[in-house]
Amino acid sequence: MGLLSKFEGKMEDTVEGAANKMGGTPLSPVQIAKRAEKQMRRERMVGAGKEYAPTLYTVFVNADDDARLFGYYPTLAGETETYLSAKAAEHGLIMDGQPLVRFMVDDELKHGKFTIQSEMVAAPLVAKLRQEEMERYGLAGAPAPAPAPAPAPGYVPVRPTGANPYGQQPAYEGAPDATENFQMGTGPQSNLGQLTPYLYDITHDQAFLLDSDSMTIGRENNNDIVLQDINISRHHAEIRNMGNNHWTLTDLGSMNGTFVNGRKIKSTALNDADRITLGITDIEFQLI
């Protein structure tokens, strides 16, 4: 029996069967695995006479499909990772450790549609992202994160990051549409003018003081906030103070998108402790 047939057999009685009971979803685990394998072969890299395969695979799905399948992501992701490892070996591709498959919401996708982005990511960062996924799914027995290193001299102190904001439920549940209009001066940020705003780069352990009412974020050195991540666009996003510490984040037409609490956005208001993802960099918006 081939690898794909074995994969299909495992998925048939779990994810696909459950989806049918919940009202059905046209998302096919087999199609996800095949698309991920195609991305793996397309994005492979050659170095020192060897071929290397991507280790991070992000599957973007519609919010409704995400709601139906969220509880089955650990099984689907785990089986897809096993399938990709086997296919990499079959094609003679080298992986830097076990691959990670994760799922995120893209509101621009229609029901039943999905896209996959594959990236070359070092094993330590994959391990960190895998831990975050385990916490997101609320799986028991997930190892505790390592203690944070002592801050370097001159480091701006920020509040330690708390529990993963995704929790055990889909990040989008109950959240407003990311592109909808909002009214300033309402909600939990109404009287926060005396607090100091920061962006805390969790991935690279560095903090950025928001000391201007409009600041650009990107890979190029002419940005106000420069992030060393090849998956971030040269000019990726802009953060703007609308008054009284009411901040908005706007995507500047980036290649890989801007995400707030796991949801792809074009422009949205920010709340204290919101988790921002640019490329493979996780950032927390903080008011201290």
Chain-wide mean pLDDT for the chain?
79
The average pLDDT across 205-231 equals: 92
CATH fold group of domain 197-287: Tumour Suppressor Smad4 (2.60.200)
Say if residue 160's pLDDT is above 80: no
- Please give the average per-residue pLDDT across 65-91, as a whole number: 91
Going by C-alpha positions, the residue among 69, 70, 68, 63 that lies closest to residue 110 is: 63
Query: How many CB atoms neighbour CB 145 within 10 A?
Result: 11
Would you place residue 26 in the very low, low, confident or very high pLDDT band (cuts 50, 70, 90)?
low
For residues 36 and 82, what is the distance between their CA atoms, to the nearest angstrom?
12
**Which sequence spans correspond to the domains of the chain?**
26-137, 197-287
Percent of the chain with pLDDT strictly greater than 90: 43
- Do the domains 26-137 and 197-287 sit in the same CATH topology, yes or no? no
Tokens of 288: 């201290």
Is pLDDT at 230 greater than 70 in this prediction? yes
Q: Assign 207 to helix, strand or coil.
A: strand
Which of 158, 178, 142, 177 lies closest to 276, judged by CA?
A: 178
Distances (CA, A) of 194 to 245, 283, 288: 8, 22, 9
pLDDT in tens, 132-143: 889 888 885 544
C-alpha span between 63 and 91 (Å, rounded)? 34
Closest CA to 158 of 195, 119, 116: 195
- So what's the pLDDT on residue 28? 84
Range of lowest pLDDT (43-57, 94-108, 176-190): 176-190
Residue pair 76/32 in contact (Cβ under 8 Å)? The answer is yes
Q: Which fold has domain 26-137?
A: hypothetical protein PF0899 fold (3.30.2320)
- Mean per-residue pLDDT, 110-137: 88
